[in-house]
């Protein structure tokens, strides 16, 4: 074969410096990925450290086709007011009732009973969120 046939046509198969470009793109991707991970970590830490309210549904009871009663336990700082959102779902998992409950007082643990009015027979009582009243 001649020397002319062994050479590739210029500009046809990419640039000769594509390996350097690949390294730069990989480095840029690693830097951006690291920055994203750090940002998500800081955001998660901030959310967890600022939300001083938590709660749980201890038990619930279906009262009728239009009401579900839930025993709610809320943990908060003394003197803090919390707003908790509860919902009830039907057997097909459609939402049939929702209620916001405000919990205040000087106690750090508050037990309360809440009745959720429903549009159809509810089969659950679920706590969606509990937040400080100023975060709600």
Q: What is the pLDDT of residues 27-86, one digit of tens each?
A: 999 999 999 999 999 988 877 676 678 999 999 999 999 999 999 999 998 888 999 999
Domains of the chain, by residue range, sit at 3-50, 54-135
Q: Read off φ and ψ for residue 62, nearest 5 degrees.
A: -80, 115
Which class is 54-135 in CATH? mainly beta
Asked which of 21-35, 45-59, 98-112, 122-136 is least confident by mean pLDDT, the reply is 45-59
Question: Is 2's pLDDT higher than 60?
Answer: no
Question: Residue 38 is encoded by which pair of tokens?
Answer: 């750090």
- Element (DSSP H or E) covering residue 37: helix 18-50
Quote the pTM value: 0.62
Distance CA 113, CA 58 (A): 10
Distance CA 2, CA 48 (A): 71
């Amino acid at each position: 074969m001649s020397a002319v046939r062994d050479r590739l046509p210029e500009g046809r198969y990419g640039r000769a410096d594509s390996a350097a470009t690949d390294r730069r793109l990989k480095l840029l991707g690693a830097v951006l990925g690291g920055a994203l991970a750090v940002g998500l970590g800081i955001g998660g830490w901030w959310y967890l450290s600022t939300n001083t309210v938590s709660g749980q549904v201890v038990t619930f009871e279906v009262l009728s086709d239009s009401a579900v009663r839930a025993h709610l336990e809320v943990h908060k700082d003394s003197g803090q007011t919390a707003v908790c959102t509860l919902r009830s779902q039907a057997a097909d998992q459609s939402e049939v009732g929702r209620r916001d409950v405000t919990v205040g007082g000087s106690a750090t643990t508050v037990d309360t009973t809440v009745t959720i009015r429903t549009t159809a027979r509810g089969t659950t009582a679920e706590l969606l969120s509990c937040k400080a009243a100023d975060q709600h």
